[in-house]
Structure 1
Amino acid sequence: MLSHNIPNTLSLFRIIAAPFILLAGWFEMPILFFILFGMLLLSDVLDGIIARVLDQTSELGSRLDSYGDILTYLCTPIAVWWLWPDIVKEELYYIVAAIVIYILPAIFSLLKFGKLASYHTWITKISAVLMSAGVLVLLVFDDNLLFHSAIYFLVIAMIENIAITLIISKQKSNIHSIWHAWNERS
């Protein structure tokens, strides 16, 4: 049964709203894209903070948050491609690298545990902030430095997530770092 609380509702909002970014891209509505993208990012930040403050963290909440992230990460590049094809052409190698970097830890988790990981490590959270800011700076100011830097930081997050999957013996959510995974392994 779905636990109705504010963090889960925010994550569900992201799951439902992420595909609308595709519509904004398809119908060439960049303002709507930025509004939706901002709302998705804000709800992503708030769901975790509210869950911890209200002591409403749960396995379900962690999974909903991860599914919201995945949908956002899948829908955003497609919408950007439709809205800003020239930027996508220029940044194609970095965009493909980011997608591969996001997918590899998921593959490791699926192979080992049969489901997606929801670790939410500190490095992953930092990389999400850097990537979001990098995408915004790239699209608004046509400056790719932060976007490129975020990709390199994603590599660190990917390595940590894969290492955590290799270290732990059973799937677990909300692992703050590889150090925590090493100390909590069972």
Structure 2
Amino acid sequence: MKKLPVLLIFFRLLLGPVMIALTYNYGKSSAPVLVVLLFLGMLSDIFDGIVARSTGVSTAKLRRMDSQTDLVFWLCAGWCAWLLHPHIIINDQYAIITIFVMEAATYVLSILKFGKETCTHAWLSKLWGITLFIALTSIIGFGYGGVPLALAVIFGIVSHIDVYLIILLLPEWTHDVPSCYHAWLIRKGKPFKKYRMFNG
């Protein structure tokens, strides 16, 4: 069981290139399979952390690996959406570019302050991941952006602002910080309860 979190992370890492290969080779006919792989990737993202915390292997190294794998997986899924329905991406290109810029800024800010990338796994980031999953499922599976994509953009912006505040408030680098409020508690040296389902 202690090896399962790493296996789930590598499984998700492999899913991204597989999805891109399927998209290039089979085009829109690959959509049903891509949606299934998206779902499997989302499940692996949920359970790797839960299993890691349950088995006592939720180390900083593992959590950083998880975060970077998430980035690769979602970028690959986004690339598939672009390949299948470029008009949807083009119609919302400025909002999507804003999310990319905000994501890059979290890395810059964290590296400048702590010398390493951010790894908060904050609650709002998890909520953004859910809306992103729904949006990409809608685009890839049904060729529709609309409300799902708009919600993903809104929650993406809000969650990134939360991460900026977490980075600014934390006195030193740490992983699994539920929110900017909890970062403030850490800064003040005040204890708080963590929930095994969401953070260790």
Q: TM-score range by the shorter chain?
A: 0.7 to 0.9
Deviation at 1:88, TM superposition (A): 2.1
Supply the distance in 2 between the matched residues of 1:97 and 1:68 (Cα, whole angstroms). Answer: 21
**Alignment CA distance shift 1:140-1:36 (3 Å):** closer
Shift in alpha-carbon separation, 1:140–1:16, aligned structure 2, 3 A: closer
| % identity of equivalent residues | 26
Deviation at 1:84, TM superposition (A): 1.7
Q: Which residue of 2 aligns with 1:168?
A: 170
Q: Which moved more, 1:147-156 or 1:22-31?
A: 22-31
Structure 2 unaligned segments of length 5 or more: list them: 190-200
The count of corresponding residues between Structure 1 and Structure 2 is 184
Q: CA deviation at 1:138?
A: 3.4
- Please report the TM-score for the alignment, with normalisation by the length of structure 1: 0.88
TM-score by length of 2: 0.82
Equivalent position of 1:6 in the other structure: 4
> In the alignment, which of 141, 157, 160 is matched to residue 158 of structure 1?
160
User: Equivalent of 1:26, from 11, 15, 24?
Assistant: 24
Q: Is the 8 A contact 2:139 2:145 kept in 1?
A: yes
> What is the CA deviation profile of residues 66-114 of structure 1, one whole-angstrom value per residue up to 9, with x for unaligned ones?
0111101221222221122222222322322232232221221122222
Q: Is the 8 A contact 1:21 1:33 kept in 2?
A: yes
CA RMSD of aligned residues (A): 2.1
Instruction: Verify: 1:38 aligned to 2:39, yes or no.
Output: yes
* Structure 1 runs not aligned, ≥5 long: none
Give the Cα–Cα distance (whole angstroms) in 1 for the partners of residues 145 and 186 of structure 2. 41
Instruction: Tell me if the contact between 1:134 and 1:147 (Cα under 8 Å) persists in the aligned partners.
Output: yes
